[in-house]
Structure formats: C-alpha cells, structure tokens
Amino acid sequence: MSEIANTTTTPYYAVIFTSHRTEGDKGYSEIAARMVELASQQPAFLGVESVCESVGITVSYWADLESIKAWKDNAEHIIAQERGKEEWYSEYKTRIAKVERDYS
C-alpha cells in the first residue's frame, strides 16, 4: 500500500477517500488489508495509494465508473463499509473523480 500506483493512460477514475479515524484499531487494519487484496482482484482496478495517520487518505484508481459501482456493492466490502461508519471513522468523505491528465 505504500507505492505510487502505476496507472494506465488517461482518462481513468480516482476514488478519493478521506477519513478521520476513531481511537483504537477495532479490527480496522486486518479488514483494510483484506479490502485492498479484494479490490485488487476486481476488473478495471488500476491501483491504490494510501497513507494513514489520524487522518487517512486512500486513493484507488479504476478504468471505468461501472467497476467503481460494482466494488461499492461488493458484499464483503459492504460489511466493511458498515463497520467503518459505525466503528472506525468519526468523519469521512468519498469523492469520485475523472483523472484527465497526469505526469511524473
């Protein structure tokens, strides 16, 4: 989770998930790692970048919007989302964005 994602040529999509964590792990780390593993197996998944202190930013990259929707509706991911709302995050925001240009 600590690499710069090797994304494809533009356009593609970014899901920017920013959160304030609550105190304590409460199973977060294990499920977060599992979600990255599971997302990586989805079609059109291009990569993920994540940094987490008390504030976390995770940006995942996808080839199309349909795959983002399918990932949001993934059964195991839904359970993780619910635990996130109830236990792990005091506040969060998700943004769906179309990456139009990139450069290194």
Burial environment of residue 42 by CB neighbours within 10 A (0 to 12, 13 to 18, 19 or more): middle
Q: Does 85 bind its own copies (CB under 8 A)?
A: no
Applying CB under 8 A, the span of 13-21, 24-32, 34-42, 74-82 interacting with its own copies comes to 13-21
Strands 55-62 and 12-21: antiparallel
Binds its own copies (CB under 8 A): choice among 30, 37, 53, 73: 53
- Tell me which stretch binds its own copies (CB under 8 A): 25-33, 35-43, 44-52, 74-82: 44-52
- Identify the burial level of 68 via C-beta atoms within 10 angstroms of its C-beta, where 0-12 means exposed, 13-18 middle and 19 or more buried: buried
Bridge partner residues of 46 (DSSP): none
In the bound state with its own copies, the residue whose beta carbon lies nearer, of 35 and 48, is 48
**Sites of contact with its own copies (CB under 8 A):** 2-5, 7, 14, 16, 18-20, 49-57, 59, 91-104
